[in-house]
Amino acid sequence: MNKPIFKILSIFIFALVLSLTSCKENEQAVVKTVTEPVVELKITTPAPSPLGKVSQRVGLTDIDIEYSRPGVKGRTIFGDLVSFGKTWRTGANANTKVTFSSDVTIDGQTLKAGSYGLYSVPNKDTWEVMFYADSDKSGVPRDWDDNKIAAKTTAKVESMPMNIESFTISFDDVTSTSVVIGLIWEKTYVGIKLEVPTDQLVSETIDAVMAASPKSGDYYNAAIYYSQQDKDIKKANEWMEKAMSMIEKPGFWQLRQQSLIYAKMGDKDKAIATAKKSLEGAKASKNDAYIKMNTESLKEWGAM
């Protein structure tokens, strides 16, 4: 083959390889462009009245509250920014939302389990507080319907000794059967008391478990509940003795509870004997709290 033809052929082959390589790279670039997700940039800034969430278990009832927290920011709040005599969303932005896991009672009115909008009408000395059936509203509904007020009450205004900058909702005076929802802002405190059906819920659970296959712990817990709530003490004693018969070696804390039930039954001899066993176990475990409790009971019952 003569050299000119060979040179031309070599150039042609080199160009062809280069073209194929370029096509392949372009193809990969296209595929890469298609498969890569497009990230949309978005500016996020803090809300002037940030979202707040608080939760509390009262007895066996869970209460959840979602609300926005405006600040005083040098302003006069009640009677100015928040007008007296007008319905307020009790917060900022969307209305405050309260959710109950079971029925609750407020001022003798039953609120069914579920979510409610919390609205109020502030005044100088008292507030009217309302639980509204529609819970997902942006502020006070324009089509406000009194028929949707599930419960309402009047609460006394109390003065705070200090200024509270951010609107705050608290759970105060928590017991196994009730709680006070506190509304706090500027120098104002308003408390709304709620009651929960703890005894009903516990009793229903006890009945269901006892009708099935109760274990030693079930008998023990049921006995303590009946004793502490001053219910049927004979039934409490029956369950406690059943629990103890199923436990190979009762703990000093368990013997302590049994001694208290015997005392309530009026059986002082058994109460003293059981308390002495509890005291002995507490001393062996170096549990000062139970040593003190048993010692005090034994003195009360005339055994020391």
- Print the SS3 string covering 276-290: HHHHHHHHHHCCHHH
The whole-number pLDDT of residue 11 equals: 53
Q: Average pLDDT over the chain, rounded to whole?
A: 91
* Domain span holding position 287: 198-300
Percent of the chain with pLDDT over 90: 82
- Provide mean pLDDT across the span 95-108: 97
Residue ending a domain, among 140, 173, 195, is: 195
Residue ending a domain, among 142, 171, 195, is: 195
Rounded to an integer, what is the distance from CA 198 to the centroid of its chain? 15
Residue 30 within a domain: no
Q: Are both 137 and 257 inside the same structural domain?
A: no
Residue 277 within a domain: yes
The whole-number pLDDT of residue 30 equals: 46
Count structural domains, the chain.
Answer: 2
Q: Are both 183 and 204 inside the same structural domain?
A: no
The whole-number pLDDT of residue 223 equals: 98
Q: What confidence tens digit (pLDDT) does each residue in 31-70 have?
A: 445 566 778 888 999 999 999 999 999 999 999 999 999 9
Query: Where is average pLDDT lowest: 17-21, 49-53, 139-143, 228-232?
Result: 17-21
Q: Are both 72 and 189 inside the same structural domain?
A: yes
State phi, psi for 253 to the nearest 5 degrees: -70, -35
The whole-number pLDDT of residue 34 equals: 53
Residue 39 within a domain: no
Q: Are both 177 and 202 inside the same structural domain?
A: no
The whole-number pLDDT of residue 5 equals: 53
Query: Where is average pLDDT lowest: 7-11, 170-174, 201-205, 275-279?
Result: 7-11
Q: Are both 176 and 238 inside the same structural domain?
A: no
Q: Are both 64 and 105 inside the same structural domain?
A: yes
Q: Copy the structure tokens of residue 141.
A: 């509904």
Q: Are both 102 and 117 inside the same structural domain?
A: yes
Q: What confidence tens digit (pLDDT) does each residue in 4-27 have?
A: 555 554 554 554 444 545 544 444
| pTM score | 0.79
Rounded CA separation 72/78 (Å)? 10
Residue 295: is it exposed, middle or buried by C-beta count within 10 angstroms (0-12/13-18/19+)? middle
Tell me the CATH number at 252.
Answer: 1.25.40.10
Give residue 227's pLDDT band: very low, low, confident or very high (50, 70, 90): very high
Query: Where is average pLDDT lowest: 12-16, 99-103, 226-230, 245-249?
Result: 12-16
Is the confidence at residue 29, as pLDDT, over 80? no
